[in-house]
Structure 1
Amino acid sequence: MRRATITTTHGDEDAAMRVAASLAPDNTAEMTTCVDGDAVVTTVTRERTGGLRSTVDDYVVNCRVAARLGGGESEAERSTAQTDDTPDTDTNT
């Protein structure tokens, strides 16, 4: 299993809740999203590295749009992404 966690901050909890609510319809079964204060934290788990990369890429685009439309994205918005350190042995990405 491959896993990535994306954390974005949105200024305050209300903005983070609006962003998370905007993202929810596009989340797949392999995604969990929660609000922690002013942060939206999403974890994506996929079997293959290629699928993880595609899902995270789609999520980041959706998150930027959601932040611009509903929740206080600014030049100071910060995001972090963490992936687990499981060696990639999947050659069919």
Structure 2
Amino acid sequence: MTEGTDTEPNADPGRERALRTARLRTSHADAETVAAALRPDNTDSMEMAVEGDALVTTVSRETTGGLQSTVDDTVVNLTVAETIVDTVQNYE
């Protein structure tokens, strides 16, 4: 028995693995500010774009577990950033 984390037991080591991708589209009163708050935490596996009042975040990872973890972290960060932006705008 061989130990390893590769999910494809007969995978060709020279072949690139297919990426798993998720696209999150969220609407915000101030999408640019939410994006600016999140950008320092972005990794190389993430792309973020502001489209009007929407923030579109695309995450690509080699494993489903890695994709899930990154998406979970991103959703939490989005929730916190949105709450802070709303609070600041309502109490200025």
What TM-score results when the alignment is normalised by the length of structure 1? 0.71
Q: d(CA) in 1 for partners of 2:72 and 2:86?
A: 20
Q: Which runs of 5+ in 2 are unaligned?
A: 1-18, 88-92
Partner of 2:36: 21
Cα deviation for residue 70 of structure 1 reads 1.5
User: As a proportion of its length, which structure holds more strand?
Assistant: 1
Whether contact under 8 Å (1:19, 1:71) holds in the other structure is no
What runs of 5+ residues in structure 1 fail to find an aligned partner? 73-93
Matches of 1:26 and 1:71, distance apart in 2: 20
In structure 1, what is the equivalent of residue 69 of structure 2? Answer: 54
**Counterparts of 1:71 and 1:9 in 2: how far apart (Å)?**
13
**Count of paired positions:** 69
Q: CA RMSD in A?
A: 1.1
TM-score (ref. length: structure 2):
0.72
Larger Cα-atom Rg? 2
Distance change (3 Å), C-alpha of 1:34 and 1:71: farther
